[in-house]
C-alpha cells in the first residue's frame, strides 16, 4: 500500500492536489485500500471507489479540472480495464445494429423523472449556447434558434432530427419555424415523451436506428447523437445522412469532440453512463465526410458545456429530495461523479463541442457563418 500511496501522491502533485489536503479540490481517503485499487484499475477504480465511499472531495469538478489541466491522465499508463476496453473496441463493432438500443435502455430509459428535474424546461440533453445569457433554459432556446438559422430552416420544410432526445428541438422547430419534423430515437421513454409533448404539432417520432432511414428531407440535424455511433460506423452514418438530404439541403452535426483519435471511451463512463459510446476526433469526422459533404462551417463552443453541466448538476442536487425514493445513494454518487467530472474536462478544454455545417455540393454563392 505504501508504494501505491506514494505513487499516487507523486502522480497528482503537479496538479497541485494533495492527499487528505485542506483545499476543496483535494481528496480525502476513507479506505486505505483506495491506493492499490487505483493503481490496478485506473479510472474505473477511481470512479467505483468514489461510488463505494472510499474517498471524498468537496469540489469534484475542480479536482478533475486540475488533473486534466496538468495532463495527469497521460501519465497514468494502461490499466487492465483500459486494455480490455481497447481490445474489445478494436476487435468488435461495439455500436453495431444489434447493440444500438443498449444505451437507450441503460441510460435514456432510467427515468424521465430524473431528466425532467435535471434538464429543466427545455429538456435538452446537450450543450447550451450561453453567449448572452447565464440561464440554462434561455441558453438552450438560443441554441435551438442558432441551429435553425444555420440550416436556413423555412416554414413547410421537412426536417430530420437524428437522435431527437425528448423532442425539444423538434418542438421548437415546428412551433417557431413551421417545420415538418421527423425524429428518431433508440429510447422508448424518449419516444413516448415526444409523442405526448408534440401531439398537436407536425412532428413524427419513430423508435428507429439511423441505419434504417430511407427518405429525403430538406434539412437534417443531429445533436449529441454521433457520440453513440462509433468510428467504425461513421462512414455509414454520413452516407445515410447524404442519402436522406435533398441536393440543396444542409446537414448540421452537433457533437462533443476529442483532442485525439480514439476508438473507445473511458472505462468508467462506458460501464456506468454511456455503454459503447465514443467521442470523435476532428480527423475521424473529416475522414468520414470526405467525398460525401462540403464542410461549410465549423463552430467550437465547448466552453459553454462547463456551464451546462454545472447547471444540470445544481438542478440534480436541488431536486435530489424528490428523486431519492427512486434512486439509491450509490446512484446519487455515480451521477454526481458523472456530471462534475465532465464539467472539469470541458473546463480544462480536454473536450470540445463542435457544430459542423455540411452540404452535398456546396451552398450556392457561399455559406455565411452564423454566431
What CATH number does residue 245 fall under?
Answer: 3.40.50.150
Nearest to 151 by CA among 250, 268, 295: 250
Q: Mean of the pLDDT values across residues 60-76? A: 90
Residue 36 sits in the same domain as residue 110: no
Section 97-116 average pLDDT? 72
Residue 99 has pLDDT above 80, yes or no: no
On whether residue 84 sits in a domain, the answer given is: no
Residues 130 and 69 in one domain: no
Reference 262, options 237, 282, 279; nearest CA is 279
Q: Which of 77, 111, 134 is the last residue of a domain?
A: 77
Same domain, 180 and 68: no
The rounded percent of the chain whose pLDDT value lies above 70 is 91
Residue 49 lies in a domain: yes
- Position 78 scores a pLDDT of 47
Say if residue 157 is in the same domain as residue 62: no
Q: Look at residue 92 in the predicted model and tell me its pLDDT.
A: 55
Same-domain check for residues 61 and 208: no
Q: Flag whether 368 is in a domain.
A: no
Do residues 52 and 119 share a domain? no
Band of pLDDT at residue 106, cut at 50, 70 and 90: low
**312 located within any domain:** yes
261, 230 contact by CB (below 8 A): no
* Mean pLDDT, residues 272-296: 95
β pairing state of 27-29 and 55-57: antiparallel
Three-state DSSP class for residue 2? helix
Q: Are 31 and 134 part of one and the same domain?
A: no
What would the grid cell of residue 356 be?
459542423
Query: Residues 283, 325: one domain?
Result: yes
Do 71 and 129 sit in the same domain of this protein? no
Q: What is the mean pLDDT of residues 186-199?
A: 93
As a whole number of angstroms, the distance between CA 317 and CA 335 comes to: 10
Number of domains into which the chain is organized: 2
- Residue 366: inside a domain: no
Whether residue 66 is found in the same domain as residue 117: no
Q: Put residue 251 in one of left, alpha, beta given phi > 0 → left and psi -120 to 50 → alpha.
A: beta
Question: Is 342 one of the annotated active-site residues of the chain?
Answer: yes
Domain boundary among 77, 102, 122: 77
- Do 344 and 304 have their domain in common? yes
What's the pLDDT at 50?
98
Residue 169 lies in a domain: yes
Residue 215 belongs to some domain of the structure = yes
- Pick from 1-15, 66-80, 143-157, 187-201 the range whose average pLDDT is largest: 143-157
Model confidence at 192, pLDDT cuts 50, 70, 90, reads very high
**CA 133, 135, 138, 139 torsion: positive or negative?**
positive
Region 76-101 average pLDDT: 55
Report d(CA 37, CA 34) in Å as an integer. Answer: 5
State the catalytic residue, choosing from 57, 164, 244, 342.
342
Angstrom distance (rounded) from CA 258 to CA 252: 18
Domain interval for residue 27: 2-77
* Residue 248 in domain: yes
- Is the four-CA dihedral 159, 225, 341, 339 of positive or negative sign? positive
pLDDT grade for 76, boundaries at 50, 70 and 90: low
CA distance 252 to 361: 15
List phi, psi (to 5°) of 94: -70, -10
Of 4-8, 54-58, 252-256, the range with the lowest mean pLDDT is 4-8
Look at residues 53, 77, 101 and tell me which one is the last residue of a structural domain. Answer: 77
173: exposed, middle or buried (Cβ count in 10 Å: 0-12, 13-18, 19+):
buried
- Over 70: is that where the pLDDT of 265 sits? yes
Amino acid at each position: 500500500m505504501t508504494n501505491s500511496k506514494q505513487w499516487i501522491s507523486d502522480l497528482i502533485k503537479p496538479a497541485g492536489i494533495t492527499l487528505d489536503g485542506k483545499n476543496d479540490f483535494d481528496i480525502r481517503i476513507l479506505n486505505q485500500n483506495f491506493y492499490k485499487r487505483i493503481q490496478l484499475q485506473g479510472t474505473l477504480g477511481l470512479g467505483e471507489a468514489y461510488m463505494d465511499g472510499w474517498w471524498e472531495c468537496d469540489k469534484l469538478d475542480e479536482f478533475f479540472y486540475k488533473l486534466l489541466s496538468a495532463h495527469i491522465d497521460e501519465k497514468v499508463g494502461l490499466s487492465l480495464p483500459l486494455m480490455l476496453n481497447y481490445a474489445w473496441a478494436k476487435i468488435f463493432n461495439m455500436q453495431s445494429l444489434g447493440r444500438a438500443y443498449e444505451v437507450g435502455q441503460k441510460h435514456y430509459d432510467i427515468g424521465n423523472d430524473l431528466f425532467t428535474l435535471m434538464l429543466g424546461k427545455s429538456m435538452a440533453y446537450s450543450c447550451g449556447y450561453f453567449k448572452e445569457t447565464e440561464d440554462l433554459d434561455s441558453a438552450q432556446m438560443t441554441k435551438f434558434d442558432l441551429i435553425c438559422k444555420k440550416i436556413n430552416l423555412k416554414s413547410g420544410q421537412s426536417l430530420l432530427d437524428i437522435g431527437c432526445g425528448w423532442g425539444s428541438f423538434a418542438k421548437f422547430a415546428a412551433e417557431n419555424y413551421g417545420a415538418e419534423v421527423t425524429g428518431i430515437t433508440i429510447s422508448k421513454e424518449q419516444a413516448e415523451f415526444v409523442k405526448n409533448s408534440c401531439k398537436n404539432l407536425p412532428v413524427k417520432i419513430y423508435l428507429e436506428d439511423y441505419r434504417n432511414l430511407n427518405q429525403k428531407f430538406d434539412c437534417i440535424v443531429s445533436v449529441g447523437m454521433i457520440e453513440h455511433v462509433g468510428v467504425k460506423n461513421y462512414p455509414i452514418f454520413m452516407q445515410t445522412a447524404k442519402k436522406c438530404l435533398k441536393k440543396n439541403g444542409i446537414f448540421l452535426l452537433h457533437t462533443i469532440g476529442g483532442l485525439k483519435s480514439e476508438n473507445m471511451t473511458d472505462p468508467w463512463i462506458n460501464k456506468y453512463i454511456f455503454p459503447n459510446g465514443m467521442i470523435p476526433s476532428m480527423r475521424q469526422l473529416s475522414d468520414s465526410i470526405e467525398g460525401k459533404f462540403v464542410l461549410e462551417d465549423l463552430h467550437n463552443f465547448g466552453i459553454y458545456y462547463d456551464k451546462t453541466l454545472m447547471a444540470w448538476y445544481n438542478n440534480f442536487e436541488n431536486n435530489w429530495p424528490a428523486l431519492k425514493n427512486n434512486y439509491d445513494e450509490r446512484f446519487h454518487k455515480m451521477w454526481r461523479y458523472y456530471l462534475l467530472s465532465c464539467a472539469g474536462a470541458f473546463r480544462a478544454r480536454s473536450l470540445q463541442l463542435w457544430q459542423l455545417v455540411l452540404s452535398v455540393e456546396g451552398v450556392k454563392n457561399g455559406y455565411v457563418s452564423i454566431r
